[in-house]
Structures are given as structure tokens and as C-alpha cells.
Amino acid sequence: MLFASMAGYALSKLRFPGRRLVFAAMLLGIMVPPQVLVVPIFQMLDGMGLLNTYWAVIFPQVPTVIAVFVFKQFFDGLPKEFDEAARIDGAGYWKIYRRIVMPLSGPIIAAMAIITFVGTWNNLILPLFVVSNPELMTIPVGLATVQGSFGQRYADIQASAILGALPLIILYMIFQRRIIEGVAGSGLKG
């Protein structure tokens, strides 16, 4: 969330050459389905010797372009008067970001953190390809590979799915208000 918020702030508030090109490339990155990137990511992780490690599951899921986009949209909606008042007081970009923008961004940070966590938690394709050790498998991969000696055991799969979804349900119940505030403040409709 830190890097996504910094990138969103830079794209929203800073004027630099190529800003529109970076934003267009980011939008193109959102349009590319993640399934297309599985083979290049697999080859890259294999070249680095990271297959069958937790890092193989973690590293490819860190950059979330959609979070940068949502942060940019949120920062575009902040009044310019905040920036102007801080500049009059002598604040630079970092101070404005740290002392003004980030405290106002609490709901959007919480919402994007939860949405990113849920997307990462439910990811099946990437961990299925980069992890073959049963001890390192994520819950969706483990559920996809559960089979008994007599075929699919649906009761076991359903019980495991409920247990796998339980942390997400608890997390949502704890942060429900923050999620709703963040999505309402982001300009997203759904």
C-alpha cells in the first residue's frame, strides 16, 4: 500500500514529463489478464531459483496496479486548497504526502489493503504453478488438489473451503466500515 499510494500521489499531484504515458501504461497493465503473465513469471522465478519457496508466491503479487489507479483517483478528488495551504507554509511534496494526504487517506488505504489481501488470498493460478511442495501450498491450491483414493470427497472439500474462507469473513466483519468508507471515497461504483 505504501508504494501504491506514493505512485498514485505522484501521478495525481506531480507534474513531470511522461506522466500521461506512465498512466496509459498503467491502464494497459490493468487490461492484461494475469493468466497471460504466468509463464513469464514462472520463467523469471525459475531463473532466480525461487520456485517452491514462499517468495515465489509473494513477489509476483506485490505490485498491484489497480491499487495505484484507485489511489490516483482518490488523490485527484482531494481539494487543491490543502496542497496550496501547505506550500504557503513551506511544505514540500514529501511533507504534504506524509502529513496531509496520508492522514486523509485512511479509509482508502484500509479498503485497498483488504481488497488486495482478498485477491492475493484467493489467487489460484500463480501458486499452482510455482509451488509443488504440499507444505508450501496456499489454501486455494490445497483445495484444488484434495482428492481421496475414491475420487473427489465433496464433504472434505466443502469443510476445507469454509475453513479457508473463515479468515476473510472475520477480516471483513472487523473492517466492514472502513471498506465501505474507502470504496465510497474512491469514486468507484459497483
Report pLDDT digits (tens) over 118-164: 888 888 888 989 998 888 888 888 877 776 556 777 887 788 888 88
The CATH number covering residue 83 comes to 1.10.3720.10
**pLDDT of 61 over the 90 cut:** no
Residue type (1 letter), 100 = I
Q: For the chain, how many structural domains are there in total?
A: 1
- 95-119 pLDDT, tens digit each: 999 999 999 888 888 888 888 888 8
**pLDDT of 171 over the 80 cut:** yes
Residues 93, 99, 103, 109, Cα dihedral to 10°: 40
Does this model's pTM top 0.85? My answer is: no
Please answer whether residues 73 and 183 qualify as being in contact, where contact means their C-beta atoms are separated by less than 8 angstroms: no
Q: Which residue range forms the structural domain that includes residue 160?
A: 2-186
Mean of per-residue pLDDT scores for the chain = 85
Q: CA dist 61 to 26, 118, 129, 135, 186, Å?
A: 16, 12, 14, 20, 22
